[in-house]
Amino acid sequence: MNKQGRPTSIANTAHGGTHNTFTGNKALELEEALLFEIDNPGACGVDLDEPEDYTSRLGNLARQGRIGLPSVSEPEVVRHFVRLSSKNYSIDAGLYPLGSCTMKHNPRLNEKMARLPGFGDVHPLQPQKTVQGALELMYELGHWLKELTGMPGVTLSPKAGAHGELCGMMAIRAALIARGEDESRSRVLVPESAHGTNPATAALLGYKVDAIPANAEGRVDLEAFKAKLGPDVAAIMLTNPNTCGLFERDIVEIAKAVHEVGAYFYCDGANFNAIVGRVRPGDLGIDAMHINLHKTFSTPHGGGGPGSGPVVFSEALAPFAPLPYVVKEKDGSFRLVESEADAEADGTSPFGRMTAFHGQMGMFTRALSYMLSHGSDGLRQVAEDAVLNANYVLASLKDDLTPSFEGPCMHEALFDDRFLKGTGVETLDFAKAMIDEGYHPMTMYFPLVVHGALLIEPTETESKQSVDLFIATLKDLARAAKSNDKARFTGAPYMSPRRRLDETAAARKPVLRWAPPSPAQAAE
Structural domain spans, the chain = 109-368
CB neighbour list of residue 499: distance below 8 Å, 6 or more residues apart: 7, 11, 493
Cα angle value 33/36/39 (rounded, 5°)? 100
In 220-266, alpha helices (H): 222-227, 251-260
H-helix or E-strand spanning residue 505: helix 503-508
Measure the CA angle with vertex 334, ends 326 and 322; round to 5°: 10
**Cα three-residue angle 428-431-432, rounded to 5 degrees:** 90
Between CA 503 and CA 266 the distance in angstroms is 36
129, 130, 267, 361, 481 from 126: Cα distances, Å: 8, 7, 35, 14, 61
What lies within 8 Å, CB to CB, of 152 at 6+ separation is: 146, 282, 313, 314, 315, 318
pTM attached to this predicted model: 0.89
Other CB atoms within a 10 A radius of the CB of residue 25 amount to 14
325 three-state secondary structure: strand
The number of beta carbons lying within 10 Å of the beta carbon of residue 35 is 16
Residue 489's CB: how many other CB atoms inside 10 A?
23
Spacing of C-alpha 230 from chain mean position? 34
**Pairing verdict, β 264-269 and 187-191:** unpaired
- Check residue 89 and give its pLDDT: 86
Alpha carbon distance 385, 391 (integer Å) = 10
Are the C-beta atoms of residues 193 and 243 closer than 8 Å to each other? yes
Residues of the chain with pLDDT under 50: 1-16
**Class in CATH terms, 109-368:** alpha beta
Rounded to whole angstroms, how far apart are CA atoms 169 and 209? Answer: 13
CA-nearest of 144, 137, 142, 164 to 154 is: 142
DSSP string, 99-139: TTT------HHHHHHHTSHHHHT--TTS-GGG-HHHHHHHH
Q: 251: closest CA among 195, 191, 318, 198?
A: 191
Contact (CB, 8 A) for 238 and 251: yes
Q: How far is CA 243 from CA 16, 120, 220, in A?
A: 38, 35, 12
Give tens-digit pLDDT for 195-205.
Answer: 889 999 999 99
